[in-house]
Chain A
Amino acid sequence: MTNETPAGDGAEEILAVNDITVTYRRPGRSLLTAVDGVSLSLRRSEVLGLVGESGCGKSTTARAVCGLEPLTSGSVLFNGEPVSPLSMKRRPKHLLGIQMVFQNPYASLNPRRRIGSQIEDGLGLNRQRDAWNVNELLEKVGLHPSDRDKYPHQFSGGQRQRIAIARAIGTGPDLLIGDEPIASLDASLQQRVAALMRDLAIQAGSGLLFISHDLAIVRTIADRVAVMNRGIIEEEGPVDTVWRHPTSAYARRLLAAIPVADGLGKLPGLPTRRQN
């Protein structure tokens, strides 16, 4: 685990998701299969984008990866060891290498503690004691070291999300998961925060699983992308390949719905439209 492999094709695989299925029981109704046989893999210093429309099961996949959602079948291996479901017991040490940044930074920071001390909590988990300090982390995410004595309510939504990212990065994670980390931010900040997550994850040698419904942003930060629809992965591959030559009908339809800035006033494709 102390392996400091540089980025590249030879980098070690840190996450292997093998054919997982997650089923919910809906009250008074039939079972709902939210994730239906999904397989994914992620290496160090790699960014995997998981995209799809709301309700396609991408968040459930993320929660299953870090053990927040019990699996119906399949397995999740993190650094070769199975991820056990989260329970009231102390979390096994090796699983602390998985860190998550959630959608809503208003809920994920403790409102009654100074942000400096919350970031220190993260640093306490880092195996390399002196990898970061709070001031450095704050500067990395574009805040001022003197901000460490402030409380979460003194920051804007975008700043809070950056604090949550600083805390997650401070732990020195092997795997960083962003579950719609930019969805609740002001529209024009989204790109900046997403790029920041990518830079920090790559710098720290972590893998980043970035979940978003915003295709344009995923395209700019991911190395590989997986397109999800109704619980299954429709298509997976390098970002440019999927964007330029989508092979599945679903991915083609999804990409055709992105409006292009060509100045022609063309309305993007309809969701129901059949391609070929």
Chain B
Amino acid sequence: MAGINASAAPATVSPGLSIRGLRLEIRNGKSIKTILKGIDVEVPAGRITGLAGESGSGKTMTAMAVCGLLPDGSVTSGDAIFEGQNLLDLSPRRMNALRGRKISMIFQDPTASLHPMISIGGQLTDHMRHHMKYGKAEAHHRAVELLTMVEVPRPEEALRKFPHQFSGGQLQRIAIAIALACNPSVLLADEPTTALDVTVQAGVLRLLRRLCDDLGIAILLVTHDLGVMSALADTIAVMRNGEVVETGNRFQVITSPKHPYTKALIDALPTHEAIMVDDDDE
């Protein structure tokens, strides 16, 4: 638990998420599009599970289906088991009670996921007061603690500021703090570092790793960037056209991919042997 103080008691059981045979169709009038054709992914607690694949492969829709944020006309079948219940069958009311509480999300663009006209303090305490029934002072105290944890400088001051007063990297840290506020057991991270500079990305990757290891959260990492995948994910599932074509541990999938599609993805990477600077001095 070095460095992290999980304040309210750490979730007693830290269950993971288990996605089995997830299918998704979107109906629009008479046309039916099949987006997901039976996805099986295990997202165990304390591990980072990666979903890789190209645009349109369905990796984001998988995450969206889990947290019940699908577009109109979506029909799902299969299971997404969390704490013994199937998330796909939950009523909107019960899903609302889970979303942002035990299952939380971070998206690609923090400038779009944060409200421009509500202070950071407002956005960081609102759901805590709703879900955790915290009082004003308690929520404020916890907000400061969270911003400290994600290393946003001068947290007290930051709470009074608005999103436009921060850089993209700081905003993504704030978005992560919001996602972690109610001690979730599952974190869905959809391209969490794509909009960031590489040096900032390095910091956010380290943060996610630390949170996963220290708090035992189950993280589902969705990214097209195999470099990020290789740095962070423990297990990687490769998706294509709504199907998982290969699942395996990080080292196996990246160094000796079994499926020809995964091979093609990896061969398409520019060879990157320039990192002679970072080996020795750590």
A3 at the interface (CB under 8 A from B): no
A212-227 interface bits toward B, Cβ cutoff 8 Å, 1 = contact, 0 = none: 0101100110000000
In the complex, A186 has a CB within 8 A of chain B: yes
Scan B230-261; emit 1 where CB is below 8 A from any A CB, else 0. Answer: 11101000000000000000111111000000
Q: Is the CB of A54 within 8 A of B270?
A: no
Taking CB atoms, residues of chain B closer than 8 Å to A271 are: 199-200, 202-203
Given A253-B199, A267-B206, A269-B202, CB of A258 within 8 Å of CB of B275: yes
Q: Which of A186, A220, A256, A263 contacts B275 (CB 8 A)?
A: A256
Q: Is A189 an interface residue (CB 8 A)?
A: yes
CB-CB contacts of A164-183 with B at 8 A, as 1s and 0s? Answer: 00000000000000000001
**A270 contacts the other chain (CB 8 A):** yes
Contacts of A189 in B (CB 8 A): 55
User: Is B25 in contact with chain A by the CB < 8 A criterion?
Assistant: no
The minimal Cβ–Cβ distance linking A271 to chain B, given in whole angstroms, is: 4
Tell whether A275 is near chain B: CB-to-CB under 8 Å: yes
- A260 interface residue per 8 A CB criterion: yes
How many residues in B have their beta carbons less than 8 Å from beta carbons of A? 47
Check A254/B199 contact, CB under 8 A, given A187-B191, A261-B254, A262-B254: yes
Do the beta carbons of B277 and A263 come within 8 Å of each other? no
Residue of B whose beta carbon sits closest to that of A269: B278
Whether B148 is near chain A, meaning CB under 8 Å from some CB there, is: no
Residues on A with beta carbons closer than 8 Å to the beta carbon of B168: 54
Closest to B231 in A: A259
Q: Which of B231, B234, B273 has the most CB of A within 10 A?
A: B231
The docked-state distance in angstroms from the alpha carbon of A262 to that of B250 is: 9
For residue B138, CB closer than 8 A to chain A, the reply is no
Asked, given contacts A187-B224, A187-B225, A255-B275, whether A268 binds B230 with beta carbons under 8 Å apart, the answer is: no
Question: How far does the alpha carbon of A75 sit from the alpha carbon of B223 in the complex, in Å?
Answer: 42
Please give, as numbers and ranges, the residues of chain B lying within 8 Å of A54 by CB-CB distance.
167-168, 197
- B residues sitting closer than 8 Å to A (CB atoms) are 53-56, 108, 167-168, 191, 194-195, 197-203, 205-206, 209, 223-232, 234, 250-255, 266, 269-270, 272-275, 277-278, 281
Q: Assuming the A-B contacts A187-B224, A256-B277, are A261 and B198 also in contact, with contact meaning beta carbons closer than 8 angstroms in the complex?
A: no
What 0/1 readout, one digit per residue, does chain A (63-103) give for beta carbons within 8 Å of chain B? 00000000000000000000000000000000000000000
Q: Which of B195, B231, B269, B278 has the most CB of A within 10 A?
A: B278
A25 within 8 A of B: no
Contact check, B227 vs A260: say whether CB atoms are below 8 A apart: yes
CB of A265 closer than 8 Å to a CB of B: yes
**Complex: chain A residue closest to B109, CB-CB:** A184
Taking a contact as CB atoms closer than 8 A, the residue among B56, B194, B230, B272 that contacts A263 in the complex is B230
Chain B: minimal CB distance from A274 (Å): 8
Nearest B residue to A245 via CB reads B274
B194 touches A187 (CB 8 A): yes
Pick the contact of A260 from B197, B230, B255, B281 — CB < 8 Å? B230
Chain A residues in 8 Å Cβ range of B278: 256, 268-269, 273
User: Across the interface, do A266 and B274 meet the contact criterion of CB distance under 8 Å?
Assistant: no
The yes or no answer to A264 lying at the interface (CB within 8 A) is yes
A111 within 8 A of B: no
B205 near A268 with CB under 8 A, answer yes
**A259 CA to B230 CA, complexed, in Å:** 8
Given contacts A215-B198, A268-B205, A271-B203, contact A261 B277 (CB under 8 A): no
Check if A106 is an interface residue, CB within 8 A of chain B.
no
A188-B54 contact, Cβ under 8 Å, with A268-B198, A269-B278? yes
Q: Is the CB of A220 within 8 A of B199?
A: no
Residue in B195, B227, B252, B253 whose beta carbon sits within 8 Å of that of A183 in the complex: B195
Give the nearest-CB partner of B194 in chain A: A187
For the complex with contacts A261-B269, A265-B234, A267-B232, 14 further pairs of A-B residues with Cβ separation under 8 Å are A54-B167, A188-B53, A216-B227, A216-B270, A254-B199, A259-B227, A263-B251, A263-B254, A265-B230, A267-B205, A268-B201, A268-B202, A269-B202, A270-B206
Q: Chain B residues near A187: list those with CB within 8 A.
A: 55, 108, 191, 194, 223-225
* Contact partners of B201 in chain A: CB under 8 A: 257, 259, 268
A259–B251 Cα distance when bound, in Å, is 14
Q: Taking the complex as formed, is A252 at the interface, i.e. its CB lies under 8 A from any CB of chain B?
A: yes
Q: 1/0 per residue A229-273: CB within 8 Å of B? A: 000000000000001101000001111111111111111111101
* B197-A263 in contact (CB<8A): no
How far, in whole Å, are A257 and B202 apart by their CA atoms in the complex?
Answer: 6
A145 in the interface, Cβ–Cβ < 8 Å? no
A216 CA to B230 CA in the complex, in Å? 15
Contact A258 B198 (CB under 8 A): yes
B225 engages A259 (CB within 8 Å): yes
- Is there contact, CB below 8 Å, between B270 and A219? yes
Q: Does A6 contact B (CB under 8 A)?
A: no
How far is A271 from B167 in the complex, measured between Cα atoms in Å?
15
* Interface-central residue, B108, B198, B200, by most chain A CB under 10 Å: B198
